[in-house]
Structure formats: C-alpha cells, structure tokens
C-alpha cells in the first residue's frame, strides 16, 4: 500500500472519493499514459495556435527554394565562433555527377530567435499580429526546419496548419459519431421492439459493407465545387456514418441491462420522465465507458481521414491536412529525392501512439475490477 | 379486521401478465409464460394485504404490474386518487400516469440494487419530489432531513453515497424515498427479506408505525409467513400466477382451506420444542407457468387430489365471509392450521395417493418455504415425524 493510499485511508478521503477521482488516481499510475497525456495536450495547443507557432505562412512560397532539404539548427558558425541559434542559408548548386539541382549550405547566416516578428497573420480570425514563437529574426528569412515542398512552401509550418485540421477533424467526427451512436443505441435499447429491430438490422447492413470502398463512394459523391469547410464537415459526417455502429451496439446492450435494474424502475416509479431516466440514471452508469471509447476511437478517425486524403478522396488542396501533405509522397521519386516530405507521417504516428497509450491508461483506470 | 365499509384504494380485476416465449429469426411467439394469470385483489384504505407464495409464483410480477412498472397484458387496475377519482392505471398514458405515481410507491426487495450508486442520499430521497416539482432548494433539503429522521437515519449523512450505508440503512433510505411524496399506497416487495431478523423487526415496526401515522395502505409481498402474520390484515396465497386462497390473517392461519396453504403453514417454524407439527413436504416441482397442468394447477403436488382436480379448473368461491378459496375439496377437507396437529383437529383427512415415486429422496432445499427452515431450532425434530409419513405414502403408492 502506497504512502498516499495509507494517508487517504486514514483521513477517510479514499472512502468518499468520487468515481472520477478514483479514476484519476489509477490513471496517474499508468506511466505511458502519463507521458502521452501532456504530449497530446501540447499537440492540440500548438496546432490550435499554429499561426503563432509556425515560422512561416502555409501558403507563402519561397520561389528559389523548391524541394529544399531541412536546414540544421546550429550554434557555431563555420569557423567555430559562437553566434547563437542560426541556420546557414541554402544555396542552389548542380550535382557534379547527376547535374541535378541540389541545395548546399552557404556561409551566410540566418539568425533565429524566440518571439520574433514575421509575416503578418490574422490570429484565429480575431486580431492581426505578426508575432511568432520561433523563427528567423529578420522578416522573410529562409529557414526550413523540415524542408520545403515542390512549390517552395515551408513544410514545418504546413504540418502545424495541417495538424489543426487533422486533429480537430478527429474531434468533430467523433462528436458526430457519438451523437448518432448514443441516440440510436439509446433508442434501440430503451424503447426496444420495432425500433430496436430496425436499428439493429441497419447496423448489420452497415457493418457488412467493407469500410474503405464505402468511404470512397461517399466521398466521391461530394460535389467538387463544395467549399473546403463544407467538405471538412461532410467528410466528418461520412466518417461518423460508418463509425457509429459499434458504439450503438454497446450502448444498446448497456441500456438493455440497466433498464431492468431496480434503481431505474425506482426512478420510473418516482415519476421521472424518459429523459430524466436516461440522463440521470442510465447514461452516468456507463459514462466512463464512453470516455474510454472516445479516446480509443480518435486514432482510427485520424488514420481514416489520412487514408482518404492520401487517396485524394478526402480533404483536398488547398485545404491542408496531414493526409493531403502526404499526397506529395505518392511517387517513388519523391520518396527517394525528398524523404523529408514524410515528416507528416511521423506526426501521425506519434499522435496515434499517444492516443493509444492514453486510451490504455483510461481503460485501466475506468475498469472497476482492477 | 377486514373493514369492508372503508374506502377501496386499489382494486385489481382479472390482471394478467404473460411473457411471450419467442423463437427464431422472426421472433415468432411460440407460447407464453403466464406469470400472473387472472388475478383479482383489492386493498382498502389503511389496510395491509399480504401476498405469499414460493419463489417464482409471480408475486413480484403482480406487484410491479399493479404499479405499471411493467405493462400488464390484460386486466383492470382501479386506483382511487386523493380527491376520490378512480383511475384505471393500465390505460393511462405515461405522462398522466406520472401524476398518479405521487400517490403510490414501492419499496424494493434488494436495498443494494434499488439505490443509484452515483447519487447522494439527498438526491435519491428527493427524486420523487423533484420529478413531481413539489419542492426545491432549502425546503427540499429540510424536508429530506425530516424524512431521514422519520425512518431512523442520521440527517447528517445527507450528502453520502449509498455505498457508505449498511443494508438496513439502505432499506431505510428506500423507505424514505417511498414516503417522500406522502403516498397513500405502497407496494412492499419483499421489503424485509434481505435483512437479518433484528433489523427486519425494526423495519416492520417502522412500517406499521408509519401506517398508523400516515394512514397508509400496503400490498405486502413476502415469502416469510412469520412476517406476514405480524403485519397483515388479510393474506392472499399465490400459486403459479393465481391466488388460491384469500382470507383475513388469523382465519387463514387457523383454518386454511387450500391444501397448498396447509403445506405452507406446516413449514413455518414454531418456537416451541414440544410442538409436534407434521411437516408436509410437497413432492415434485412448482408447475411450469408456460405449460400449466390441466384442471387445478396444484393437483400434481396435492396429496388430496382426485379425478375432478385433474380435469376441472376449480372455481373461486367464498366459503366463509371474507374467506375465498379455489379448491374442489375445500369443504370436505379438514386441514391443519399453523401450530396444530392432525390429532388436534379431531378428524383426520385421508391423504390420497400422491403421484410421487416410492423412494423419492427427501430434498430439503426443494421443500416449500425452505427459507423458513433456516430458523428452525432443531431439524431433527421434524425429520422423524416426516419419515413415517413418507413411508406410508410410499407403500400406498406402490399398491394401487
């Protein structure tokens, strides 16, 4: 027994601790989850305020720096003198063997700093600013942390902007999924009878259709003239139209078993309305399951969006998402010559892993039998 | 004790609750479990009517159907409201029913399952009040504290969760919740069965005090005859979904008219070591409510059964004032009441040939009201008495 637990037992806080507090205490013991949680929070914060964190604007082109490799951040110049954070300007040279245009470091130094002024942007659509967290001290300096794409746009900035879309897309889509899943699963379980049969057969039907072709068919049905915001919302609805079935099944099962519990009957006999029975008695009894399920299904949604966008069926340029960024790597040539274009994949992997770890910790914490 | 002049609060007429047995993909109904089959019963104001019977005979289903917690298949449930209006509950829509629910409540059997573990005592007890929008805020809080005191709980524990309480305390919480809206009729579904004997007595006395104070009517569902004889004015004996006998408590206990009642009564322990009551152990199992035997449903287990019992369903008759029974032979049989012996009755009824095998092993847990045996001081006291009786029956059975 840990010292804290002993202390809690002595002062009685353990006995009266609510369910959420108990869950938090157990969650804290899960080491991987405790690493994953802050990383997730940091990722969401950075991508939410990506205008501030990105050194450049996602659409501004550096015409002389197409397919430029990442520049290394250095502290000392070529002679070994300390000059502070800087990168060396890339200069275009011909490869003597292949005669291909390549970039090499020149002696010219671009100084970097925190809280510098760069190109002006509109912060979250609220106010204009040009303050940036990190970037070249001089306005318009050519600093590419993760290289540039074939149009000379800073990949690191684009990844942050794409992360805003990809990460928020997951949340929006999950919200739709839970709305549909909870409503239909709830109706199915609480009302039973004919409604239940219809909904369950519908779930059977949806589950029997292979996922990717269905996504593709639905995504291809979206008109090409649609605005990028419209496309974003419709894509998330498409994802949730397919994803709600599993959740609805579980919710139905939970409600079916809880519906006959004495305390639920007692609530009905107390004169509670259907809404109150569901909201006060049924839903809270499996809230922890829902929370766990949400975390567990975010990675799947992110991957789904990436896959569709990669195939060119999901979000499309000029909308930036991690999936559309990866579209640039569809050729072997690009992979061989510009391997830095795979950076978005790294972010996807990290995000998915972190969500899985956090979900794992949550599942353990919510499990009353552990 | 039966006050026929007083006001009816509840009248149940021909209540039926059939659970369909479905089969196959299309959920075709292949039969029905007749949990409650054509039951009629009434409860007067201030009266306690008990419903007794063995496990699975439909007591709880009846109690829940009366309150419309489960929808009855057929039958009328007439409830008299405070203003004297009589409403038929099963035909009321959900919202209208909610209004009537103020006047009728239920105390549940299992104090662990009937309280939402995620709500505080305050929220649990106040739920009916909040649902009916009767009170709120400070007044509500004070009233709940008052209620807690009424049922013998410490009002300081208002903000605690159910898991912090013992079984008896939880049952009191359940009672406080049932009393919150000042109902006039309460269904006590095995309200004390989950508690140990000393707590049982406290709760029973509490219920009786409250009845006197608040002029409550109870439908008291139980399998414990001791409890029933203590609290009730009238007793209805149930067997597979039907009432087989209904009489004022004393009358039923002293002069049972149905063989099933006799068997039940013989199983009730008497706290007197010299008492040599013959324990009647019923053979066989309870009839299957999905496939009732022909004629009287009790005939396969009845030791007085005759040809007529196997073919004709007995009528529901009033043999003495207020004493109803459905048995073909009720008039001719002289049955033994509680704490009596056959010899004491003067006339010994000749047991008929039972349909049981000659050397059936006496299975105590299977016996009716085996629950009652638990408290029996000396099992050895009863077994020697039973054995000769069984052998007798066995010999007769082997020589038809």
Domain residue extents for chain B: 8-23+30-232, 238-398
CB pairs under 8 A between A and B: 61
Look at A320 and B343; give whichever has higher pLDDT: A320
Res A11: pLDDT: 56
Kindly report which listed range (A348-362, B220-234, B266-280, B333-347) carries the lowest average pLDDT score.
Answer: B333-347
pLDDT band at B233 (very low <50, low <70, confident <90, very high): very high
Task: List C-alpha distances in Å: B43 to A102, A191, B249.
Answer: 97, 32, 14
Chain B contacts of A284, Cβ < 8 Å? 118
Q: What value, to the nearest 5°, has the Cα angle with vertex B138 and ends B135 and B141?
A: 75
DSSP letter at A87 equals: E
Chain A contacts of B69, Cβ < 8 Å? 265, 268-269
CB-CB contact of B107 with B189 (8 Å):
yes
The winner for highest mean pLDDT among A31-40, A188-197, A268-277 is A31-40
d(CA B181, CA B150): 14
Task: List C-alpha distances in Å: B279 to A155, B174, B257.
Answer: 91, 36, 17
Q: Which of B230, B241, B234 is nearest to B205 (CA)?
A: B230
Which residue of chain B has the CA closest to A275? Answer: B131
Res B93: pLDDT: 86
Res B381: pLDDT: 43
Tokens of residue A10, six digits? 């002595």
| Unique residue bearing structure tokens 């000659």 | B358
Look at A164 and B361; give whichever has higher pLDDT: A164
Domain chopping of chain A, boundaries: 62-153, 159-366
Res B277: pLDDT: 63
Please, which residues 258-287 of chain A have a Cβ atom closer than 8 Å to chain B?
261-263, 265-274, 276, 280-281, 284-285
Q: What value, to the nearest 5°, has the Cα angle with vertex A221 and ends A216 and A223?
A: 130
Kindly report the nearest CA distance between residue B398 and chain A, in angstroms. 48
d(CA A192, CA A200): 10
CB-CB contact of B13 with B78 (8 Å):
yes
Q: List pLDDT tens digits, range A297-319.
A: 888 888 888 888 888 777 777 78
Residue A347 has pLDDT above 80, yes or no: yes
| Unique residue bearing structure tokens 């929370």 | A291
CATH number for the segment(s) B8-23+30-232: 3.40.50.300
Q: What is the average pLDDT score of chain A?
A: 83
Which residue of chain A has the CA closest to B179? Answer: A270
| Unique residue bearing structure tokens 């239920």 | B106
pLDDT band at B144 (very low <50, low <70, confident <90, very high): very high
Residue B358 has pLDDT above 70, yes or no: no
Q: Residue B394 burial (CB < 10 Å; 0-12/13-18/19+)?
A: middle
Helix (H) or strand (E) holding B31: strand B28-44
- Taking residues B171-199, report their average pLDDT: 87
CB-CB contact of A129 with A107 (8 Å):
no
- Is pTM, for the whole model, over 0.90? no
Helix (H) or strand (E) holding B250: helix B249-254
Q: Given B106, B115, B118, which is nearest A269 (Cβ)?
A: B106
Res B275: pLDDT: 66
Residue A243 has pLDDT above 60, yes or no: yes
pLDDT band at B399 (very low <50, low <70, confident <90, very high): very low
pLDDT band at A329 (very low <50, low <70, confident <90, very high): confident
d(CA B17, CA B11): 16
Other residues' Cβ atoms within 10 Å of the Cβ of residue A61: 15
Percent of chain B exceeding pLDDT 90 equals 12
- Taking residues A17-26, report their average pLDDT: 74
Chain B contacts of A15, Cβ < 8 Å? 164
Kindly report which listed range (A106-120, A312-326, B359-373) carries the lowest average pLDDT score.
Answer: B359-373
pLDDT band at B182 (very low <50, low <70, confident <90, very high): confident
Query: A332 in contact with B at a CB cutoff of 8 Å?
Result: no
| Residue B365 DSSP SS3 | helix
Res A12: pLDDT: 53
What DSSP string runs through B3-16?
-TTSPEEEEEEEEE
Res A290: pLDDT: 83
CATH class of segment(s) A159-366 = mainly alpha
């Amino acid at each position: 027994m840990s010292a804290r637990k002993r202390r809690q037992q002595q002062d009685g806080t353990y006995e009266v601790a609510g369910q959420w507090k108990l869950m938090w205490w157990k969650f804290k013991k899960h080491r991987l989850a405790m690493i994953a949680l802050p990383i997730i929070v940091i990722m969401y914060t950075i991508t939410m305020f990506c205008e501030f964190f990105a050194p450049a604007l996602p659409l501004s082109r550096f015409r002389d720096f197409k397919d430029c490799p990442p520049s290394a951040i250095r502290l000392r110049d070529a002679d070994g003198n300390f000059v502070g954070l800087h990168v060396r300007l890339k200069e275009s040279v011909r490869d003597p063997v292949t005669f291909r245009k390549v970039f090499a470091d020149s002696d010219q130094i671009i100084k970097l700093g925190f809280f510098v002024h760069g190109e002006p942007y509109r912060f979250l659509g609220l106010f204009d600013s040009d303050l940036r967290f990190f970037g070249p001290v001089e306005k318009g300096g050519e600093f590419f942390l993760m290289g540039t794409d074939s149009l000379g746009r800073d990949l690191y900035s684009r990844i942050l902007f794409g992360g805003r879309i990809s990460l928020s897309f997951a949340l929006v889509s999950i919200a739709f999924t839970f709305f549909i899943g909870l409503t239909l699963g709830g109706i199915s379980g609480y009302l039973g009878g004919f409604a239940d049969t219809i909904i369950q057969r519908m779930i059977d039907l949806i589950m029997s259709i292979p996922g990717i072709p269905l996504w593709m068919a639905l995504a291809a049905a979206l008109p090409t003239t649609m605005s990028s915001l419209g496309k974003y919302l419709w894509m998330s609805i498409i994802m949730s139209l397919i994803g709600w079935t599993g959740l609805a099944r579980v919710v139905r099962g939970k409600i079916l078993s809880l519906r006959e519990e004495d305390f639920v009957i007692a609530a009905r006999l107390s004169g509670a309305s259907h809404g109150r029975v569901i909201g006060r008695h049924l839903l809270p009894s499996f809230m922890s399951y829902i929370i766990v399920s949400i975390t567990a299904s975010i990675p799947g949604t992110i991957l789904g969006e990436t896959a569709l966008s990669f195939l060119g069926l999901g979000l499309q340029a000029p909308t930036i998402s991690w999936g559309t960024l990866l579209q640039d790597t569809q050729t072997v040539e690009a992979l061989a010559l510009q391997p830095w274009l795979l950076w978005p994949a790294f972010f996807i992997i990290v995000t998915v892993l972190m969500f899985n770890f956090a979900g794992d910790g949550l599942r353990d914490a919510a499990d009353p039998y552990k | 004790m039966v006050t026929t002049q007083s006001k009816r609060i509840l009248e149940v007429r021909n209540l039926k609750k059939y659970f369909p047995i479905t089969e196959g993909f299309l959920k075709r109904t292949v039969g029905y479990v007749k949990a409650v089959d054509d039951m009629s019963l009434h409860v007067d104001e201030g009266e306690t009517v008990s419903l007794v019977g063995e496990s699975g005979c439909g007591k709880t289903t009846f109690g829940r159907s009366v309150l419309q917690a489960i929808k009855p298949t057929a039958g009328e449930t007439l409830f008299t409201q405070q203003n004297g209006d009589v409403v038929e509950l099963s035909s009321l829509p959900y919202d209208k029913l909610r209004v009537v629910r103020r006047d009728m409540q239920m105390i549940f059997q299992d104090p662990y399952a009937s309280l939402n573990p995620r709500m505080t005592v305050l929220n649990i007890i106040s739920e009916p009040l909040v649902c009916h929008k009767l009170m709120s805020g400070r007044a509500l809080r004070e009233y709940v504290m008052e209620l807690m005191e009424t049922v013998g709980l410490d009002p300081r524990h208002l903000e605690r969760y159910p898991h912090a309480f013992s079984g008896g305390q939880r049952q009191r919480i359940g009672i406080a919740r049932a009393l919150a809206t000042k109902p006039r009729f309460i269904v006590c579904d095995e309200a004390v069965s989950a508690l140990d004997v000393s707590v049982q007595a406290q709760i029973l006395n509490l219920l009786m005090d409250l009845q006197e104070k608040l002029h409550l009517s109870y439908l008291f569902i139980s399998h414990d005859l001791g409890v029933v004889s203590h609290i009730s004015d009238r007793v209805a004996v149930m067997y597979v979904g039907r009432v087989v006998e209904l009489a004022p408590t004393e009358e039923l206990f002293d002069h049972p008219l149905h063989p099933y009642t006799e068997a039940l009564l013989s199983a009730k322990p008497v706290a007197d070591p010299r008492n040599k009551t013959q324990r009647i152990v019923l053979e066989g199992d309870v009839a299957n409510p999905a496939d009732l035997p022909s004629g009287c449903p009790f005939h396969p287990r009845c030791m007085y059964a005759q040809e007529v019992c196997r073919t004709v369903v007995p009528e529901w008759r009033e043999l003495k004032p207020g004493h109803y029974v459905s048995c073909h032979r009720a008039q001719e049989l002289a049955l033994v009441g509680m704490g009596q012996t056959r010899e004491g009755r003067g006339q010994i009824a000749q047991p008929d040939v039972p349909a049981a095998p000659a050397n059936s092993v006496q299975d105590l847990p299977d016996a009716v009201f085996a629950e009652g045996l638990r408290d029996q001081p000396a099992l050895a006291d009863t077994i020697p008495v039973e054995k000769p009786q069984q052998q007798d029956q066995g010999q007769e059975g082997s020589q038809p």
